[in-house]
A and B are shown apart, each in its own frame.
Chain A
Amino acid sequence: MPVVYESEPQSDCDRIVEPAYCGPVVTSAPTKRTPATRSTVALKYSMAVSGLIMIGYLLLHMYGNLKVFAGQEAFDEYAHHLRTFGEPMLPYEGLLWIVRVVLLAAILVHIYAVVVLTIRNRRAAGYAGGKRYHSKQNRTGIQRSYASFTLRWGGVVILAFIVYHLLHLTAQVVTPGGASDSPYDRVVNGFEIWYVTVGYTVAMLAVGLHLWHGIWSALTSLGGNRSATRIDSRLTGIAVVVTLVIVIGFLLPPWAIFLGLEA
């Protein structure tokens, strides 16, 4: 331990005759750290994983929908089999409830992460006088995609659609075209009406925009990108392909029904 004598200069203030600035250096930002497990990056991990779980579900859901082309018997049998899947190891509707719980958890995690990050990001952007930049030039940035602008509100649209969708085809609270015990009939009754088909189309386009940026973003958040720009990345290609598969796959049954082309 070095011995410090009281007569020794204790700071620049004692040492220099006329210091330009005396006292502690005050920096502008508070630096109380929270653990990296609760960082913005960790929130992005949870956002990515929950999103990818939902995309996995969408692909399975889309596969099931396409069964409509195999006819009423095959479609209704598929729907029934989902309830008996895994019996007797699982109870009746066991798999369905597992999927429902996992999806609900994924949605809640996804929404929690987006709310926390959005509030944080808005503060971090440093608005002055209600705007970030007052310049009216280049309002849409340098290269960002339209899809990236629609992520947050597009997500709200999708959530509203999911609620309607469950009320329509699962709970049968809203029954355009008439209710039925046959899932096939429910689907056909609904999509024979033009506004139902148009509504579902709009919702699917919202999903498409969400996935266009979302899939790329999720894979990048998990550390997958190895390209210098977003456009060059292989992940952008993956995102576009998966998005197109999901959007087209989901739109085929309603439009086939609307145009009277189903089996």
Chain B
Amino acid sequence: MKITVNIWRQKDADAKGSMVTYPLESVDEHMSFLEMLDVLNEKLTIDGEDPVAFDSDCREGICGTCGVVINGIPHGPEVTTTCQLHMRTFKDGDTIDIEPWRAGAFPVVKDLVVDRGSFDRIIQAGGYISAPTGAAVEANNIPVPKADADHAFEAATCIGCGACVAACPNGSAMLFTASKITHLGLLPQGQPERDSRVLGMVEQHDAEGFGGCTNIGECTAACPKGIPLDVISRLNRDLLGALSRQAVGS
């Protein structure tokens, strides 16, 4: 099939980027979206042009490294990661617009590559449990209700790709932050640091320059892992609890 791609080209972080059009012939419908970009890059390299920079790693939808905005939607029209999107989703003659994640806290490094270090710093601000090292403890020592375990797991499937931020008109990272709050907050191991976690992560979220949540749900709709929207309400409840306990000094 024949397609046309409009790709955001930006030489480096300081350069002013723009959309550049490339026609592509003989694109196979079985190609993944990234393979289509690989083919384009081979062609650009042969022509002596700078290939399009984009992030990718596992290419099986579990690492969260890849991700571009396709036709205005993060990861494109299917609910999956960019690497698991296939060209059969598109039609012969389609024009596909490819842009990097847009967020103040995700500065463009080059072309379609953004710096997502802000996510790492949010995790560093509390998105973990402090556990003594040593041999693994017996798994059944601490009972966890099945419903809690399932919901915690659902939240834990977040791969930190950043599609939620790219989809949010406010550039908010609430879904990402709240998925970690939910994942750890539902489990017994997450209780001791529950208050400091939500305080630290929300403060870091704001310090990184992410926006506020307006509860429109675009994040959940774009999430390749289908992280449910209720995690954000859980974060809001946890923060309300932490702030009131902080206020009364307990």
Contact = CB atoms under 8 A, between A and B. Distances in A.
Q: Do A and B come from one complex?
A: yes
Interface of A: 27-37, 39-45, 117, 120-121, 123-129, 132-139, 141-145, 148, 151, 213, 216-217, 220-230, 233
A124 B71 contact: no
B103 A125 contact: yes
- Among A36, A41, A138, A224, the most chain B Cβ lie within 10 Å of the Cβ of A41
Interface residues of B, number: 66
Given A41-B212, A143-B218, A222-B240, 16 more contacts: A31-B207, A36-B202, A117-B211, A117-B212, A125-B168, A125-B169, A133-B72, A137-B71, A138-B72, A138-B73, A142-B222, A221-B236, A223-B237, A226-B230, A227-B229, A230-B216
A235 to B, nearest CB: 9
Interface string B155-193: 000000000000111111010000000000000000000
A128 B8 CA distance: 10
A33 B206 contact: yes
A39 B210 CA distance: 11
Interface of B is mostly: mixed
A142 B103 contact: no
Given A142-B221, A227-B230, A121 B207 contact: no
Nearest to A48: B236
Contacts of B168: 125
Contacts of B33: none
Chain A contact residues, majority secondary structure: loop
B212 A29 contact: no
B215 interface: yes
Contacts of A128: 8, 17, 102, 108
A41 B107 CA distance: 23
A223 B214 contact: no
B53 to A, nearest CB: 16
Interface stretch (B23-31, B34-42, B114-122): B114-122
B170 A224 contact: no
